[in-house]
Amino acid sequence: MLLSLLLTGTVPPSRGRSTGQPEDVDECAQGLDDCHTDALCQNTPTSYKCSCKPGYQGQGRQCEDIDECEDELNGGCVHDCLNIPGNYRCTCFDGFMLAHDGHNCLDVDECLENNGGCQHTCVNVMGSYECRCKEGFFLSDNQHTCIHRLEEGLSCMNKDHGCSHICKEAPKGSVACECRPGFELAKNQRDCILTCNHGNGGCQHSCEDTAEGPECSCHPQYKLHTDGRSCLEREDTALEVTENNATSVADGDKRVKRRLLMETCAVNNGGCDRTCKDTSTGVHCSCPVGFTLQLDGKTCKDIDECQIRNGGCDHFCKNTVGSFDCSCTKGFKLLTDEKSCQDVDECSLDRTCDHSCINHPGTFACACNKGYTLYGFTHCGDTNECSINNGGCQQVCANTVGSYECQCHPGYKLHWNKKDCVEVKGFLSTSVSPHVSLHCGKSGGGDRCFLRCHSGIHLSSGLQEAYSVTCGSSSPLRSKQQKSNDSAFGDVTTIRTSVTFKLNEGKCSLKKAELFPEGLRPALPEKHSSVKESFRYANLTCSPGKQVPAPPGRSSTPKEMFITVEFERETYQKEVTASCDLSCIVKRTEKRLRKAIRTLRKAAHREQFHLQLSGMDLDVTKKSPRTSEQQAESCGVGQGHTENQCGLCQPGEYSADGFKPCQLCALGTFQPEAGRTSCFPCGGGLPTKHLGATSFQDCETRVQCSPGHFYNTTTHRCIRCPAGTYQPEFGKNNCISCPGNTTTDFDGSTNITQCKNRRCGGELGDFTGYIESPNYPGNYPANTECTWTINPPPKRRILIVVPEIFLPIEDDCGDYLVMRKTSSSNSVTTYETCQTYERPIAFTSRSKKLWIQFKSNEGNSARGFQVPYVTYDEDYQELIEDIVRDGRLYASENHQEILKDKKLIKALFDVLAHPQNYFKYTAQESREMFPRSFIRLLRSKVSRFLRPYK
């Protein structure tokens, strides 16, 4: 009866219900049970049953987690066992990986990936690896790169210095030996003895330090191999498993029948592959996290988490035994949840772009300000516009930083298009005539005003349907005294005035004035002018305002406009008379200007305000088009309508003033720009293929020049572009100058990428800085030599991180980077390499100061390097060397990415240079920046170092 109650969990029916079967209530489904949260509820007739979930123990109403790691077998884990609620996980020491059974740990062959980061030879050993150098080299302090060994010279550079690991200079020419982390210096002060702290002492399972060195042992389920390091599964354990799995079908049926009575975890682990638990229904097998129980109820199989929603990884998922790893595409970084990928905002980093930076998912792009050209992917150099078809200038082109300007020969002045030159006829020199003049007079029953710009003309377009015209030059005091209407300087007084008026209809657009038959100027003879003023400076700005409601029947809504004109003129002491002093002169001038402003306002409202630039008459605005004019094309700044077409002459055309009517460029000439007054000759008597040519490529040359060449119209041959220039197109008559201070390695260059900045070297900062190959991140130039020096302040040492370095190996070490104490080849060398090295490395300088040299030959080129450094207090020398020499710093991809992340390396340098600053990164900030494994590594190092001071 008791056994029946235990198995069924039933309760006798209530009294008074002897007739009929009572209706069952599912307490589990309705939540009426009192099972523990870590228990399973099973409904039974008239009652229910509670039983603890796998991994928990108790009566069902009270359950507690089973700590599988507490037993004498360590949960079956040969290294570390990590208990988790309801289960457990086995983990391995650094240098080992979990076997497919989820419990054993196998050696990782680090040499299979990127040669272990070794410059020459990588040798795998149990739990670790070693880098070795070829004959004639010795291993540097960073234990990865190799340095040329000298036959003679300073002690530590001599091939017979005698130190097993690290050699340090000592007073009086002697040497002092040190060992890598995980090793101890032997009594002879030369050799290094392995301890269990490095690669688990070379033991596969357990390691114990003894006076004779590490002693290896194995998990109870394994036995020690004859090599004294490896562990093999015991034969008796394997035999029991084999016999159990070899049970016949018939025996299997019998065993199922007798399972409740005979099967127990005490015998052969209940046949379970991993964890066994005795229950009232027999043994219950379970698997650690990352494994799943198979249909036989005994065997555990690794779960490929990557098959289910990509393991939760944003980008890439890589399955591992008992777990999985996420990684990100280039340009993204893995967040501390080790699943999510976040775009690296390169634009938020220092030294990304010279001018503007545009971030894109996974990448970025640099852009340069107007007048500059991008080179080397991130740098901006001044564009020499004059090297391209003389900048389009008709006569003289003068390059300036970030811009250029066209100039004219004596007897000519610059056209309003700022490119052509027009002959000066009967004008006084600019030193005598005023820069700007305003003339107003009566015409057609009203006022007409005419603003003439004689020199210093600058025309610019702003937003859509807006422009600005500047004439003359403002007073030097203008920027300092904007709020004052006038200012005095010595015997000169500057008077300023401005006017803004609104027009309800129209559009801001300069266009060629359509004059009355009698012409504009005859209508304004100077002797009949109502206003006649001269100015030093004037600025006219036209900008659109808000739209005004359209009158009924109108199909379009015109815009209102605002026209602002600023004037500036000077009065001089020499104008003073006996009856009127300088103050009187100023007041009279201001009164005249007020009258001129009133007249100008009236003329503008009558659309009788005109502008003359370089002798050409222009209307300041134009009315909004009527219904019949709706189809007319909108013209830009400096353009007007002529037969429903914009008034500027188009490329391949010209006219006396740049406006229509235009003529096609004659045969043998071409014009690539609009609004020009002439066409450029092909030169050398070359004809063009047709009238109206727009490029030199339309000229019929005798040979077709390929990129990297230009056509010489004198010799009619193709000439290679000289060094410092390039030409990417066919059939050109010029080469483009490299931007800024860049130049090319050789002549005949075809692309801007071949323009390289050769600037490099110099004395570097006392505390932090970069050692950067010239033109980085573009390819460095050929035949270059750079020398840097780092001289830290007293009692500071140098720490260097090489995130990656790209040097071609095809040149037989023609390009190399070396860091040593002095320029002497016999001085103590810290680092040298002549090949690409994409795995990051950190190291301390072997000398208190560094002389650094980079040299390239004329062979292949590559990206080069950008190497950050920091100096730190020498009191922390032991700690920092302990960190950078520990292989765990480079063991995982996450750690390597830290050394390549410019943002994180600042925080890393902060910790390495000032270890006490580590504690400000232990809160949320550090958890968001660094992976947990990296924080654990630093915490153990810093805590151990600072323990004596606590």
pLDDT tens by residue, 172-215: 667 788 888 788 888 888 888 888 888 899 999 999 988 888 99
- Burial (CB < 10 A; 0-12, 13-18, 19+), residue 195, is middle
Using the predicted structure, report yes or no on whether residue 111 has a pLDDT greater than 60: yes
- Residue 610 DSSP SS3: strand
Same domain, residue pair 61 and 72: no
Contact 47, 26 (CB under 8 A): no
pLDDT tens-digit series, residues 570-587: 887 777 787 888 888 888
Q: Which contiguous run of DSSP H or E holds residue 229?
A: none
- Count CB atoms within 10 A of the CB of residue 289: 15
User: Of 881, 884, 929, 873, nearest to 903 (Cα)?
Assistant: 929
Q: Which of the four pLDDT bands, split at 50, 70 and 90, describes residue 864?
A: very high
Same domain, residue pair 36 and 73: no
Using the predicted structure, report yes or no on whether residue 716 has a pLDDT greater than 90: yes
Q: What mean pLDDT is predicted for residues 592-598?
A: 89
- Residue 478 is predicted with a pLDDT of 43
% of residues, the chain, pLDDT over 70: 80
Domain with residue 898: its CATH number is 2.60.120.290
- Residue 843 DSSP SS3: strand
Which residues have a Cβ under 8 Å from the Cβ of 511 and sit 6 or more positions away? 618, 619, 622, 635, 639, 640, 641, 647
Same domain, residue pair 466 and 608: yes
Same domain, residue pair 6 and 84: no
Q: Could you tell me which residue, 558 or 408, shows the higher pLDDT?
A: 408
- Residue 710 DSSP SS3: strand
Tokens of 937: 């590594």
Question: Which amino acid, 890?
Answer: Y
- Residue 764 is predicted with a pLDDT of 86
User: Of 58, 21, 139, 19, nearest to 885 (Cα)?
Assistant: 139
Classify residue 317: in a domain, yes or no: no
pLDDT tens-digit series, residues 14-32: 444 444 556 778 889 888 8
- Residue 243 is predicted with a pLDDT of 44
Domain with residue 261: its CATH number is 2.10.25.10
Using the predicted structure, report yes or no on whether residue 1 has a pLDDT greater than 60: no
Classify residue 309: in a domain, yes or no: no
Phi, psi values for residue 223, rounded to 5°: -130, 155
- Burial (CB < 10 A; 0-12, 13-18, 19+), residue 508, is buried
- How does DSSP assign 915-944, residue by residue? GGGGGGGSSHHHHHHS-HHHHHHHHHHHHH
Return the biggest CA–CA distance within the chain.
Answer: 139
Contact 324, 306 (CB under 8 A): yes
Tokens of 2: 């008791």
Q: Report the domain count for the chain.
A: 4
- Residue 155 is predicted with a pLDDT of 63
% of residues, the chain, pLDDT over 90: 27
How many residues are there in the chain? 950
Long-range interactions of 134-141: CB distance < 8 A, separation 24+: 140/829, 140/830, 140/831, 140/843, 141/166, 141/830, 141/843, 141/844, 141/846, 141/881, 141/885
Q: Which of the four pLDDT bands, split at 50, 70 and 90, describes residue 708?
A: very high
Alpha-carbon span 703 to 819, nearest angstrom: 52
Classify residue 667: in a domain, yes or no: no
Q: Which of the four pLDDT bands, split at 50, 70 and 90, describes residue 431?
A: very low
Same domain, residue pair 860 and 885: yes
Using the predicted structure, report yes or no on whether residue 553 has a pLDDT greater than 70: no
- How does DSSP assign 250-302, residue by residue? HHHHHHHHHHHHH--TTTGGGG-SSEEEEETTEEEEE--TTEEE-TTSS-EEE
Using the predicted structure, report yes or no on whether residue 681 has a pLDDT greater than 50: yes
CA distances (Å), origin 308, targets 313, 385, 407, 639:
10, 58, 71, 65
Same domain, residue pair 16 and 80: no
Classify residue 404: in a domain, yes or no: no
Question: Which amino acid, 786?
Answer: C
Using the predicted structure, report yes or no on whether residue 894 has a pLDDT greater than 80: no
Q: What mean pLDDT is predicted for residues 296-306?
A: 88
- Residue 136 is predicted with a pLDDT of 80
Same domain, residue pair 941 and 797: yes
pLDDT tens-digit series, residues 223-264: 999 899 999 988 765 444 434 444 444 444 444 444 444 577
User: Of 176, 178, 174, 175, nearest to 193 (Cα)?
Assistant: 178
- Residue 927 is predicted with a pLDDT of 63
Classify residue 312: in a domain, yes or no: no
Same domain, residue pair 57 and 85: no
Long-range interactions of 131-134: CB distance < 8 A, separation 24+: none
Q: Which of the four pLDDT bands, split at 50, 70 and 90, describes residue 170?
A: confident
Classify residue 711: in a domain, yes or no: no
Q: Which contiguous run of DSSP H or E holds residue 242?
A: helix 235-245
Using the predicted structure, report yes or no on whether residue 503 has a pLDDT greater than 70: yes
- Residue 23 is predicted with a pLDDT of 74
What distance, in Å, lies between the first and last C-alpha atoms of the chain? 68
Q: What mean pLDDT is predicted for residues 629-634?
A: 39
Lowest mean pLDDT among 48-57, 137-146, 753-762, 860-869: 137-146
Question: Which amino acid, 763?
Answer: E
Q: Which of the four pLDDT bands, split at 50, 70 and 90, describes residue 789?
A: very high
Q: Choose the final residue of a domain: 590, 615, 638.
A: 638
Owning domain of residue 881: 762-949
Q: What mean pLDDT is predicted for residues 268-277?
A: 80
Using the predicted structure, report yes or no on whether residue 391 has a pLDDT greater than 90: yes
> What is the pairing mode between strands 446-453 and 609-613?
parallel
Lowest mean pLDDT among 30-44, 166-180, 289-303, 422-436: 422-436
| Residue with the two structure tokens 């309003």 | 416
Lowest mean pLDDT among 202-216, 422-436, 656-670: 422-436
Q: Choose the final residue of a domain: 37, 65, 93.
A: 65
Between helices 932-946 and 877-884, what is the axis angle to 10°? 150
Same domain, residue pair 784 and 800: yes
Beta bridge partners of 399: 404
- Residue 514 is predicted with a pLDDT of 62
Which residues have a Cβ under 8 Å from the Cβ of 77 and sit 6 or more positions away? 69, 88, 90, 91, 103
Classify residue 361: in a domain, yes or no: no
Same domain, residue pair 15 and 92: no
Same domain, residue pair 490 and 629: yes
Q: Choose the final residue of a domain: 261, 287, 302.
A: 302
Same domain, residue pair 257 and 288: yes
Question: Which amino acid, 38?
Answer: D
Classify residue 846: in a domain, yes or no: yes
